[in-house]
C-alpha cells in the first residue's frame, strides 16, 4: 500500500521520488564498447608479437641444426657444391631472421600505439563514469533534502491538525 501524500506546493511524493537516470549512459556504453575494441586490437597485436618471437626462435633453432650438420660434414670432408648449398641455406635463414626481426620492431610500434589507444578510451570512459558518479551524488543529496522537506511539512500539517482539535 502506498500513500500518495501531496505537499503544500502541490508536488506529490511520487514526483519527488523519481528514479535516477543519467542521460549519458548510452555514451558510457559506447565508450565501453570502444575500449573493448581497443583491447581486442591490442591483444591481436600482442599475439602477433608472440608469434613473431616464436618464429624467430624456430628459425634460429633450424639454423643451429644446419650449422651443426655443416660442421659434421666439414669434419668428414664436403664437396664444394654441397658447401655452397649449405651456405646459401644458412644465408637465407639469416635473411629470414633479419626480416622477422624487422617485423618484430614494427609490431612493437603498433603495440605502443594500441596501448595508447586503450589508455585514451579508458580515460574517456572513466571521465564519463566520474561525471555519472558526481551526478548521482548530487541526486542523492537532492532526494535527501526533498524527503526532509516533505517530512517537515508533514510534521507541520500534523501539528496544525492537532492544534485545531484542541
- Per-residue pLDDT tens over the stretch 134-158: 999 999 999 999 899 988 888 887 7
Q: Judge whether 150 and 5 are in contact, CB under 8 Å.
A: yes
Residue 57 lies in a domain: yes
What is the domain extent for residue 35? 24-121
111 near 42, Cβ under 8 Å? yes
Q: Residue 128 falls within a domain, yes or no?
A: no
Tell me if 100 is assigned to some domain: yes
Domain for residue 8, yes or no? Answer: no
Q: Which residues make Cβ contacts (< 8 Å) with residue 100, sequence separation at least 6?
A: 52, 55, 56, 59
Neighbours of 38 (CB within 10 A): 19
Cα distance between residue 160 and residue 164, in whole Å: 6
For the ranges 24-38, 93-107, 141-155, the lowest mean pLDDT is seen at 141-155
pTM of the predicted protein model: 0.69
Cα 80 to the center of its chain, rounded Å: 59
pLDDT tens digits, 59-91: 999 999 999 999 988 888 888 888 899 899 999
Grid coordinates given for 99: 626480416
Instruction: For residue 66, give the nearest of 81, 96, 87 by alpha carbon.
Output: 87
Q: Considering the domain boundaries, does residue 86 fall inside one? A: yes
**Cβ(41)–Cβ(114) under 8 Å?**
yes
Q: Is 18 within the bounds of a domain? A: no
* pLDDT score at 166: 61
Q: Per the domain annotation, does 105 fall within a domain?
A: yes
The cell numbers describing 40, all together, are: 581486442
The string over 127-140, giving b where at least 16 C-beta atoms fall within 10 Å of a residue's C-beta and e elsewhere, is ebeeebeeeeeeee
User: What domain count does the chain have?
Assistant: 1
Closest by CA position to 118, among listed 56, 47, 38:
38
Contact 62, 141 (CB under 8 A): no
In a domain, 3, yes or no: no
Amino acid at each position: 500500500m502506498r500513500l500518495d501524500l501531496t505537499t503544500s506546493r502541490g508536488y506529490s511524493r511520487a514526483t519527488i521520488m523519481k528514479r535516477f537516470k543519467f542521460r549519458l549512459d548510452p555514451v558510457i556504453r559506447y565508450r565501453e564498447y570502444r575500449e573493448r575494441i581497443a583491447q581486442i586490437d591490442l591483444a591481436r597485436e600482442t599475439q602477433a608479437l608472440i608469434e613473431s618471437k616464436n618464429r624467430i626462435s624456430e628459425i634460429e633453432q633450424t639454423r643451429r641444426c644446419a650449422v651443426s650438420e655443416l660442421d659434421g660434414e666439414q669434419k668428414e670432408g664436403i664437396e664444394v657444391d654441397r658447401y655452397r648449398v649449405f651456405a646459401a641455406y644458412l644465408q637465407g635463414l639469416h635473411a629470414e631472421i633479419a626480416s622477422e626481426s624487422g617485423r618484430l620492431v614494427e609490431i612493437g610500434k603498433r603495440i605502443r600505439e594500441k596501448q595508447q589507444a586503450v589508455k585514451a578510451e579508458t580515460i574517456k570512459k572513466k571521465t564519463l563514469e566520474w561525471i555519472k558518479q558526481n551526478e548521482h551524488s548530487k541526486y542523492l543529496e537532492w532526494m535527501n533534502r526533498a524527503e526532509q522537506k516533505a517530512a517537515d511539512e508533514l510534521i507541520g500539517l500534523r501539528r496544525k491538525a492537532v492544534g485545531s482539535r484542541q
